[in-house]
Chains A and B, each alone.
Chain A
Amino acid sequence: MKKPPKIVAALSISAALLAVLPILYLGLRLVQGFEKAIEELLRFRTIELLGNTTLLVLAVTISALAVGFVQAWLTTRSNIFFAPLFGVLAAMPLAIPSYVMALGFISLFPGFSGFLASWLVLTLSTAPFVFLAVTAAMVRADTATEEVARTLGLGKLAVIRKITWPAVKPAAFASSLLVALYVLSEFGAIALLRYDTFTRAIYNSYRGSFDRTSAAALAVVLLLITLLVIWFERKYRGDYQASPKALTKRLRVDLGALRLPSVALLSLVAIMGIGLPIISLVSWSVQGAASLDWGNLIAALLVSMQLAVSAGLLIGVFATAIALWSVRYRTKLGAFIETVSWATHAIPAIVVGLALVFFGANVTPWIYQTSWMLLIAYLILFLPNALSAISTPIAQVSKSLEEVSRSLGTPENKTLFKVVLPIAWPGIIAGVALVSLTVLKELPATLLLRPSEIDTLATRLWSATEDLAYSQAAPYALLLVIIAGLPALALNSQARRALTEVSS
């Protein structure tokens, strides 16, 4: 069996070991209070939470998949007006943390709450995950097959179903998994919109009661659901397809009479996902501008950017190593390590935070309440996001290129660095950007692990929303959107670049 380079193995294994920490912590808590944990799980409330959570996860995943796929297809495969503009708009909600979006809706429509509200807000927040992944896959895939199918008389919908969909299915499923996991661990928006899921119950157990055992019991159930979701995705995503770079001119389907309705549809999604929250934030910011402490704002901005950039690079390095091992070498250990890093994604950030508080204060006090601790938390929390973005481009590097390189006498490890990584490089950069964005928005673990007296934009925003001081929170929220918005655009311009490369 082929072995990965030592550096790849070392990085992967240490990331996986860190990812296991929260699970160890949960185990410890459960052993300490086993009977209480069982009692907690046997309550009717657990079933109620299970129902609520499942309903929301399924609903959001399906709708985000539908919205993201339609956006991707319309902007890359159809002759819709302003396709590049709509592409940018489709990715934009990525820059708006879901709790900020929820806040925007609530401050515009008082009484906006419950299942439908949570479903709407989370669908708008997560559809960009699907859109970006599917767009990237569509741009890479060759349209020649679709053209041939159409010449042979296959209808437009049939082409989508039989040719386009199978080609982008791995990307669509991997990003849907991300959506499902996002919903499973989402707290901020759901708490604001007052819909009860497992994550909210876990948070409330901690926050309201210092009750760590029942929270741990619920977290274990959440972890099991996640494993189920991951198993499901593995089973149905199909194999990654290595496709040769599309060389033919890109074919765009004529929408005919549906051209304007399609514009209306994409506009509606953009207005809901970007327009409304931004209008709300701007108007609250104007109200709050007079009493804003600019020194605090700038300090928080610097801290946020520093953390996001360091965490993005750090996680990018680890994720690339794991992706190389699990995708290019396909060993059992590599696959296992990939699964471990995914599994912990369902553990709510507050559990990861508390686990690191416990280990940090008691095992590694010299880095406790320093930025190192935060970076470790971000690594545990966001490795899956980076893996999802980085695995696909690494998998799509054609095996034959590697074989050619080896047949020319290049040692295997050198081939990895000379051939595989350079080709996958744009995808890896996209992964790093995606992770930096997510780090900017992270709240619960940051609150627990940040060095004392260090505040990020998100923690400042949180303290203000705790007091329902929307006008105090809005400038931070707006700045967060602007700062996180820039990488989102960069991410998407990469998709645009691929698009122009193919169509020129």
Chain B
Amino acid sequence: MNRRTFTRFLISGMVLIGLPLSAVAQESIKIGEINHYKRMAAFAEPYKKGIELAIEEVNAAGGVLGRPLEFIFRDDQGKPGEAVKIAEELISSEGVAMITGTILSNVGLAISSHAGEKEYVYLAAEPLADSIVWASGNKYTFRLRASTFMQAAMLAEQAAASGAKTYATIAPNYAYGKDAVAAFKKNLLALQPDAEFVTEQWPALFKIDAGAEVQAIERAKPDAIYNVTFGPDLAKFVREGTDRGLFEGRTVLGLLSGEPEYLDPLGDEAPEGWIVTGYPWYDISEGPGKVFVDAYQTRWNDYPRIGSLVGYMTVQSIQAALERAGSTETEAIRDAFEDLSLDTPVGQITFRSIDHQATSGAFVGRTALRDGKGIMVDWEYKDGADYLPSDTEVMQLRPAGQ
């Protein structure tokens, strides 16, 4: 036996794959959406529902450029290599107008690099890494959500106002955690030059040894703690920290900790009095934010998470860009995204032409308990435009000619 079988498999496999591609509808404008639907199901499902709600609204109102909008959802298993392959397929065989998606930053970076090389527009919806628009930014990549830097800057502002002098940080030991700590330090030291960082903890992602981390932070006796852990790590950290009295009398700042995805699993053990960024959908009582929450609850019989909001805004952004472009040509869409302004449930946002970052903001508030659930109180929506570095700095961060 030999390579004969191999070739047969290869060819029959390809014929199988090739078949459905030729039988597609002519009418709709197609958008490729690549995500880790299985690997990060808790985040991807609300995100997908947000997208679906928005598509239904767009198409009920007559679509975009007189054509219906259609998303092609594809699972990349959380592997950057797979995502690039799927992007290639969507662009070359499915004829999508542009690509969006991903939650994990590394997958986002892989698609972004591919988009720069093969020249198609990629809207990075959820990935937070600063490098997507800065160090590794390119002409064809845009980012919707408030980045790590922006959200960390919002918390640094709160920290500086708290009067704490010594800080401990705890962040998962990977790129997002490192970016988040670096951005927080930079912004805090600018606002409060005498701030001191007494310990930095770097638990492995999703493998936190919470008891040991809590002890190590306690030993450094900081005035304030800056937390970047999330998901199961956050749950373990909160539980051990509460048990061992780590948070008593300390200012605690939590990046993303107020997002329903992270706060809700904690139930009645959600920490109280943390200063966090998040999404208090339950207390948004008026305006377009309320309209979105109501529409989402009616459609899905479930409440929105931050991912739902991002998914909804992704479709809104794409719709606005397509309408401004007046066509589905890559260059037209790309040009349309630059300085594109649109109204979203959180207010007006603009995709900056200088670095392709949208000025989406974040909600900053304090955590509290209500009816056995963690919520955010005293929150305020902070406009992302106010938390970005100066234009000269941004120009230095971005590679020349992009």
A binds B: no
